[in-house]
Amino acid sequence: MTDRYDRPPTRVGLIGCGGIAGNHLAGYRLVEEAELVACCDIDAAKAEDFARRAGIIDAYSDYRELLAHDDIEMVDICANDEAHAEIAVAALWAGKHALIEKPFATTAAQGRAIIDAAKGAGRLAMCAQSLRWDPKMRAAKGLIDAGRIGEPVFVRFCQPSSPFWCREQARAYRDRAPDWLLVHNGMHSFDLLAWLLGSLPVRVHARSHPGQEWLPVHEYVSCTIRFASGAIAQAEENRIMQPPGYPFHCELYVVGSEGTLDLSDRLTHAASVYNEAGVNLLGAHTTWTPDQPDQPFACEIREFVQAIREDRPPPIPLEFSLTILKAVLAAAESMHTAEAVAIDG
């Protein structure tokens, strides 16, 4: 198959065949500009199972074997957070473009090394931020950018849940540091807030609650973030909801100088806009267009691959993601010291 430029699809190797790799696989099925041709997991059985599901032949247990293939143009890194930087730097220097799951790195030095490798090797790299392609979030961004609530001054965002937080299911979290949930998931929230507000974070104050005594990870973290524009945001990382299994839901509202936008999942309709004209209840069909596929992973993969094919910068610049990572790490510092921390932009 060829695309509108009459070129064959970009050949992709996926590294890390766990939970989120399944969502990426569903995405690739909708992206005709890309073709998944190889996969890798340190657990060989997982790599083979993924290869079977994806209908591909090449399954590896060492990412370096995958990188040795000259015909693979891009890697999609879905391994655990701590492995991202090492794999990304190696992949970029091996001449591959790299889409990297959030958080793309776990320290600022790692983030800088990835940026340097991308520049040095002349390849594209991007931190995957699926929330930006969520139809609901795109609707929020569209309404804000259209001026429906004036200048945004305050946002409250959280996605409370407790899907994993019982002893049997918490293996992945048992040995993590207290700030792990914040670093792991804060990259989602902080990126979303900066994108919605169109401004970078400059200062953060975080407080946390340890939650259940058998987990070192703090299950609840509340962050107050100031942005360069002067806007303030309140973001919660919240897995403390009981009972275990309490489903994910979204609480998002944005207060502007001329109105308030409410996109809470608890509404019976998709969103409400409150402004001088009164209250406008938006149904699902009015908040996103039918040609915007309801598949955030497909959308983020497609836009990254199109940037590669058109030789232009990726939709989310890595420098932007590095500032977001620094903000999350500043929040982790604040969580420990209880002091507000300025973000090194």
- 288-308 b/e with 16+ CB inside 10 Å = b? beeeeeebbbbbbbbbbbbbb
3-state secondary structure 96-136: CEEEECCCCCCCHHHHHHHHHHHHHHCCCEEECCHHHHCHH
For residues 289 and 137, the answer to whether their CB atoms sit within 8 Å is no
Which residue from 30, 35, 42, 108 is in contact with ligand NAD, where contact means CB under 6 A? 42
Q: Tokens at residue 243, please?
A: 């009972």
User: How many of the chain's residues bind ligand NAD (CB under 6 A)?
Assistant: 24
Q: C-alpha angle 195/248/151, rounded to 5°?
A: 25
When the beta carbons of 43 and 294 are compared against ligand NAD, the nearer one is: 43
Site membership for ligand NAD, residue 67 (CB under 6 A): no
Q: How far is the C-alpha of 182 from the C-alpha of 283, rounded, in Å?
A: 33
Q: Which member of 34, 56, 67, 78 binds ligand NAD (CB under 6 A)? A: 78
**Residue 217 Cβ vs ligand NAD, minimum distance, rounded to whole Å:** 14
Give 32 or 81: the residue with its C-beta nearer to ligand NAD: 81
Whose structure tokens read 């919240």?
238
Q: What is the 3-state secondary structure (H, E, C) of 5-73?
A: CCCCCEEEEEECCCHHHHHHHHHHCCCCCEEEEEEECCCHHHHHHHHHHHCCCEEECCHHHHHCCCCCC
Amino acid at 66: L
| Phi and psi based region of residue 183 (left: phi greater than 0; alpha: psi -120 to 50; beta: remaining) | alpha
What is the pattern of x (binds ligand NAD, CB under 6 A) and - over residues 98-117? ---xx---------------
Angle at 280 between CA 277 and CA 283, to 5 degrees: 160
Comparison of 184 and 218: residue with beta carbon closer to ligand NAD: 184
- Residue 46 sits in the site that holds ligand NAD (CB under 6 A): yes
Interacting positions 149-178 with ligand NAD (CB under 6 A): 172
Nearer to ligand NAD, 80 or 264 (CB): 80
Interaction between residue 44 and ligand NAD (CB under 6 A): no
**Which of the stretches 2-10, 11-19, 224-232, 337-345 binds ligand NAD when contact is defined by CB under 6 A?**
11-19
What is the distance between the alpha carbons of residues 92 and 85, in angstroms, rounded to a whole number? Answer: 11
Closer residue to ligand NAD, CB minimum distance, 91 or 240: 91
Specify the stretch interacting with ligand NAD by CB under 6 A; choose among 6-14, 78-86, 204-212, 305-313.
78-86
Residues numbered 181-200 forming contacts with ligand NAD, rule: CB under 6 A: 184
The region of 76-84, 116-124, 195-203, 209-217 touching ligand NAD under the rule CB under 6 A is 76-84
The β-bridge partners of 40 are 15, 60
The CA distance from 134 to 296, in Å, is 5
Residue 81 near ligand NAD by CB under 6 A = yes
Q: Which of 3, 11, 20, 178 binds ligand NAD (CB under 6 A)?
A: 20
- The residue within the footprint of ligand NAD, chosen from 106, 130, 161, 323 (CB under 6 A), is 130
Residue 63 touching ligand NAD (CB under 6 A): yes
Chosen residue from 9, 16, 27, 111 binding ligand NAD by CB under 6 A: 16
d(CA 330, CA 323): 10
Helix, strand, coil shares of the chain, percent, nearest 5, are 40, 25, 40
> DSSP string covering 174-198, please?
HT--TTHHHHHHHHHHHHHHHHHHT
Site string for ligand NAD, 21-40 (x = CB under 6 A): x------------------x
Among 3, 18, 200, 234, binds ligand NAD (CB under 6 A): 18
Closest separation in Å from C-beta 82 to ligand NAD: 8
Closest distance to ligand NAD from the beta carbon of 17 (Å): 5
Residues making contact with ligand NAD (CB under 6 A): 15-21, 40-43, 46, 63, 78-81, 83, 101-102, 128, 130, 172, 184
